Amino acid sequence: MAQKEKLQCLKDFHKDTLKPSPGKSPGTRPEDEAEGKAPQREKWASKLDFVLSVAGGFIGLGNVWRFPYLCYKNGGGATTWAYAAVAETVPLRSLSSSGIGYASFVIVSLLNVYYIVILAWGLYYLLQCFQPELPWAKCKQPWNTDTCVEDTVRKNKTLWLAVNTTNFTSPVTEFWERNVLSISTGIDDIGPLKWDLALCLLAVWVICFFCIWKGVKSTGKVVYITATFPFVMLTVLLVRGVTLPGAYEGIKFYLYPDLSRLKDPEVWIDAGTQIFFSYAICLGAMTSLGSYNKYKYNCYRNCLLLGVLNSGTSFVSGFAIFSVLGFMAQEQGVDIADVAESGPGLAFIAYPKAVSMMPLPTLWAILFFIMLLLLGLDSQFVEVEGQITSIVDLFPSVLRKGYRREMFIAVVCSISYLLGLAMVTKGGMYVFQLFDYYAASGVCLLWVAFFECIAVAWVYGVDNFYDAIEDMIGYRPNPWMKWSWTIITPVLCMGCFVFSLVKYKPLTYNKVYEYPDWSIGLGWCLALSSMICIPMVMVIKILQSEGPLIERIKAVAAPAKSGVSSRPKEYSLKGSELTQPLDPNGNNGLLKPTHTIVETTM
């Protein structure tokens, strides 16, 4: 009789968990508030909501401008092949472990401050498209200098020879640097706020807030547009790109590797860091999204499928971008290696220049920047959702009641916006690059990834991890994954980490401006703010343990005992049994949610 009552209680629990009360935050139940309990977590309304949210989270601006730029920087196909090789050896998308969580939280918090600035630039460009003529297509604008030379002049050899071309600049470059950025002389000269960009930044933060303010229920619906429409636009731009004259040369440059570049460690470091950047690994956002799934969700299958989708999107984006670069090279009569700019300039200089040369330039510019905005927007609000979830889960009894979650999201967005204002000043680009180079750099991500592998594969135990996955999905993953988690990936991460430090070069802007020493020091403080979390928590755990120092270290680093369940706190049914999850070290206690290491994400 007692067993039947337990089963009925469990059914009632699952039935009521997702019934939010009117006027309450998602997941809040009246009985929880009445009894003073922490409100229950909400769940995804459907599997498709989760899949699209994850796809939108890691398929973003990095696929459109960062991956093609790295290919361009490292001689075309060399990075493409290195990326493919590294992607096969880093199956970190299905791992996650307590200092690692804090490190990921710091990284994603810093990332959310500066990543959205790219969307502000994109929105500004989009608004500028609604003019009779694209403002970056011609010289003689208020912001242009006497050295501005239009691309039509370069194409006309007679006019080109008649012009003093020693220090010429293109109208699209001057629009970017002198109108959009109004860039100052350096980070020491931060300059006044650019109110047009500040308003654009405010607009994208407001959009981001309303995309996530009701939790995964609102996020799951928004991504039906933000995650699918960019694929339509990318397909349209791809078809248009490959039909342009000169596209073949651009694609050839993209696919055919300079084999000598494969000997350069920098190519492999760039490929490795791009994997982490594009898959949103070690940021905690995928863990947060996965935590809203049901326990039996097949994370392993979707991890593989969405991984292929992400890398495939980067690969296809390369065709779209390099076909346009080939067209630009033919139109300007220059080599492909000299036609593009670095970093964000690939999106805000190279492509705007390309569309100004096409028929119906305004149409193609509008389509491109809409795609850019949607790609960045869903990545941004997914990362912010991960940041919010991390804090809400630490204080559920406080932040899940009433409208407190919504108010907390508004506070986080407001603080992030105020911090981001430093990047929309006249010296804002220097601040932006400082954050991009240090705060969420490959060094930070590689550091976190290495310890994530050690924590899961060696401390928790790879066999325990396999048992947990089997309990969730009904079968064990390919044995190759075990070798990758225990040996291949940790060695690869540490190798790239060491190479990154050995090959480290101080930050510069446009390969000309050198950052002052104080700003380099500030950048390393940003990097260490996340990296220090892992050893700091280790030390705290050791100090909190009892016994001699050696015994404390052994106790903290001891692998978890095998043969235990990793099921979440809420009981799970298996057949007719009601199974209670245990602490992995056999302490006869419930397994805390923070100890559950199966990241049910992609």
Confidence of residue 489 (pLDDT cuts 50, 70, 90): confident
Does some domain include residue 409?
yes
**Average per-residue pLDDT in the chain?**
76
d(CA 482, CA 500): 26
Q: Is the pLDDT of residue 16 over 70?
A: no
Does some domain include residue 87?
yes
Tell which wins on pLDDT, 64 or 508. Answer: 508
Give the domain range for residue 120: 41-595
191 is in an annotated binding site: no
Q: Check residue 205 and give its pLDDT.
A: 96
**Is residue 321 a contact partner of residue 242, using CB atoms and an 8 Å limit?**
no
CA angle 557, 558, 563 (to 5 degrees): 140
Tell which wins on pLDDT, 567 or 177. Answer: 177
Q: Is the pLDDT of residue 97 over 70?
A: no
Q: Is the pLDDT of residue 155 over 90?
A: no
Q: Check residue 345 and give its pLDDT.
A: 63
Does some domain include residue 12?
no
State mean pLDDT over 73-100: 54
278 is in an annotated binding site: yes
Does some domain include residue 11?
no
Does some domain include residue 8?
no
Residues 6+ apart with CB under 8 A from 414: none
**Is residue 42 a contact partner of residue 20, using CB atoms and an 8 Å limit?**
yes
| Total domains, the chain | 1
Tell which wins on pLDDT, 551 or 6. Answer: 551
Q: Per residue in 283-331, pLDDT tens?
A: 777 777 777 777 777 877 877 787 788 878 888 888 888 888 888 788 7
d(CA 24, CA 35): 16
Q: Check residue 109 and give its pLDDT.
A: 93
**Type of residue at 218:** S
Does some domain include residue 4?
no
Q: Choose among 201, 511, 194, 151: nearest CA to 350.
A: 151
Question: What are the phi and psi torsion angles at 139 (to 5°)?
Answer: -85, -170
d(CA 548, CA 555): 11
Q: Is the pLDDT of residue 450 over 80?
A: yes
State mean pLDDT over 573-581: 36
d(CA 552, CA 335): 62
Tell which wins on pLDDT, 144 or 566. Answer: 144
Q: Check residue 516 and give its pLDDT.
A: 95
Does some domain include residue 17?
no
Could you please report the per-residue DSSP string of 319-382?
HHHHHHHHHHHHHHTS-GGGS--STTHIIIIIHHHHHHTSSSHHHHHHHHHHHHHHHHHHHHHH
d(CA 497, CA 587): 36
Least confident of 327-341, 451-465, 469-483: 327-341
Q: Per residue in 516-528, pLDDT tens?
A: 999 999 999 999 9
Tell which wins on pLDDT, 577 or 282. Answer: 282
Q: Is the pLDDT of residue 31 over 50?
A: no
Neighbours of 236 (CB within 10 A): 15
Q: Is the pLDDT of residue 151 over 90?
A: no
378 is in an annotated binding site: yes
Could you please report the per-residue DSSP string of 440-500?
T-HHHHHHHHHHHHIIIIIIIIHHHHHHHHHHHHSSPPPHHHHHIIIIIHHHHHHHHHHHH
Q: Is the pLDDT of residue 9 over 60?
A: no
d(CA 220, CA 104): 23
CATH label of the domain that carries residue 232: 1.10.4160
Does some domain include residue 120?
yes
Q: Is 296 helix (H, G, I), strand (E, B) or coil?
A: coil
Q: Is the pLDDT of residue 476 over 50?
A: yes
379 is in an annotated binding site: yes
414 is in an annotated binding site: no
Q: Per residue in 108-125, pLDDT tens?
A: 999 999 999 999 999 999
Confidence of residue 183 (pLDDT cuts 50, 70, 90): very high
Q: Is the pLDDT of residue 434 over 80?
A: yes
Q: Is the pLDDT of residue 179 over 90?
A: yes
Q: Is the pLDDT of residue 558 over 80?
A: no
d(CA 369, CA 16): 43
10 Å CB burial of residue 588 (0-12, 13-18, 19+) is: exposed
Q: Is the pLDDT of residue 271 over 60?
A: yes
Q: Check residue 526 and give its pLDDT.
A: 95
Q: Is the pLDDT of residue 563 over 50?
A: no
